[in-house]
Amino acid sequence: MAGHSSSMPTRIPFRTLPKASGALLGGIAVALLLGVAAAAMTLLGGHEGAERFAQAFHFNWIFWSGTSMGMVMLTVALHLTNARWSWSLRRFALAGVAFLPVSFVLFAVDWLGAEHLYHHWLHPAPGDHVLEAKSGYLNLPFMIIRDYLGLTILYALAIWFAALALRPDVYGAAQTDGQRRWYDRLTRNFRGVPEEAVRSRELMTKVAVFLAFGYAILWGMLGIDLGMSMLPHWFSTMFPVIFFIDGFHAGMAMTALMVVVFRKRIGVDEFITRNQFHDLGKLIFAFAVFWMYINWSQYVVIWYGGLPHEQEWFVQRFNEPFGTLVRIAVGCIFVAPFLGLLTRPPKKTPAVLATFAVVILIGHWLERFLLTVPSLYESGHVEHLPLGLPEIGIALGFGAVWLFCYTWFLRTFPVLPSPATLAAVDTGFMEIPGEGHAAHA
């Protein structure tokens, strides 16, 4: 993939998203109000409404937080692999970091529904030896402590990585008071653009290694606690892998969508070519296949073993009313992108790639619902599908907050790296342009 973009411009403009339009701000406000209204109406529904709110908030937090973290991890992967073709796309992915502080705060709200989400092991039946044996791990205080500690480490590394990526490109470049406050914080003890570009890249590589391992281990741990423990007698060693790959693939799709939506408004269209869309489309296609592979790997072993306690998780989801959603999710995440992105032209066409990105994101949203909510219901005793206006409304509220954070990042920080940042790439992996490596022109 790297062969498409071996040359890079030596003069790169300083570009940020212009002031948000009234339509964008209005859309965010309407979506947020709908989310708040949906949450309030659900909570007014008594005990059943509180349970519905808890499960809707839970899987929406997982989806939006996982997608944001997946976008950051896409940037980490592109950095570690010296993917020079992606130089003008990376900040679109890195901007997902802006939602992480909000996600950290909202995580406290999620714990308010613990009594409903984890009732299986919070109030085990007498004589349940399995849950008695797991009580050292499955107890609420320890779970809250380890999950918040893991989230703190992971988010701190992600924010540090983003700060290092931005530091060489913002020195003396502030155009507004808001930018100046952030740029001053990022450029304390600044040593000069060329030196900082090299130093930042070296530190980014070190942080990226820890972040990659941290994502696999800590986000996987969150998957076990927030998803698998909701059905505490069931376990799968593939579940945490599926959990963090879900976020990574959703992050790719969201990045593609944001590039298509905002590239012209920011004024970076000339730096994002059809070949780069092609490469991004190939990544999305490849991880759609990989997503299917790891889910099939989990399923086929359990199907082959034929043990009732292992099959419980799949039985709950394959039976109605959830079975139809399983087929829709698989169709959105795997079947549609596999058939639609198999050839070259769709991947090179921004509007088509964005359409498939939306389909994939819908699929992952449904999948997060399916990973969690069916575990709260006895198989064969679900009168109606617990997916409707409360879940969609809360999703809109989350989406509004996410989009506000994302556009704030694009308005505040440069979307394109400076030539000095590009020149700091290890010459053993990348050709450096022969002309000057000045800061943003």
- Give 335-362 pLDDT, tens digit per residue: 999 999 999 999 999 999 999 999 999 9
If one counts every other C-beta atom within 10 angstroms of the C-beta of residue 140, the result is 13
Give the pLDDT confidence score for residue 347 in this predicted structure: 96
pLDDT tens-place string over residues 15-59:
999 987 888 899 999 999 999 999 999 999 888 999 999 999 999
Output the pLDDT for position 379. Answer: 64
The mean pLDDT value for 289-295 works out to 96
Both tokens assigned to 68: 């944001």
Query: Could you tell me where the beta strands, DSSP code E, fall in 294-402?
Result: none
In whole angstroms, give the CA distance from residue 181 to residue 79: 27
- For the four alpha carbons of 274, 280, 281 and 282, in that order, the dihedral sign comes to positive
Residue 275 pLDDT > 50, yes or no? Answer: yes
Confidence class for position 382, pLDDT limits 50, 70, 90:
confident
Q: Which of 88, 285, 98 is nearest to 182 (CA)?
A: 98
Looking at residue 418, what is its pLDDT?
A: 86
pLDDT at residue 7, rounded to an integer: 60
When pLDDT is averaged across residues 238-245 and rounded to a whole number, the result is: 94
- Measured between its terminal Cα atoms, the distance across the chain in Å is 28
Burial of 125 by CB count in 10 Å (0-12 exposed, 13-18 middle, 19+ buried)?
A: exposed
Report the predicted TM-score, pTM, of the whole model to 2 decimal places: 0.92
Mean pLDDT of 261-287: 94
pLDDT score, position 380: 58
pLDDT value of position 85 = 92
pLDDT tens digit sequence for 306-328: 877 788 899 889 988 999 999 99
Structure tokens belonging to residue 238: 């593939």
Which tokens belong to 65?
Answer: 């937080």
Helix then strand count (H, E) for the chain reads: 20, 0
Map tokens 């391992």 to a residue: 213
Average pLDDT (71-88) is 95
Query: What pLDDT score does 74 carry?
Result: 97
* Res 214: pLDDT: 96
Mean pLDDT of the chain: 90
> What band does 431 get if pLDDT is binned at 50, 70 and 90?
very low
Rg value, the chain, Cα: 23
User: How far is the C-alpha of 100 from the C-alpha of 196, rounded, in Å?
Assistant: 26
Picking from 283, 285, 307, 294, the residue whose alpha carbon sits closest to that of residue 238 is 294
Give the span between the Cα atoms of 251 and 104, in whole angstroms. 18
Q: How many CB atoms lie within 10 A of CB 62?
A: 24
Query: Cis link prior to 321 (omega < 30° from 0)?
Result: yes
Contacts of 353 (CB under 8 A, 6+ apart): 256, 260, 277, 280, 281, 284, 341, 346, 347
pLDDT category, 298, cuts 50, 70, 90?
Answer: very high
Q: What is the pLDDT of residue 426?
A: 59
| Residue 274 scores a pLDDT above 90 | yes
Q: Is the pLDDT of residue 67 over 70?
A: yes
186 touches 202 (CB < 8 A): no
* Pair of tokens at residue 340: 């639609």
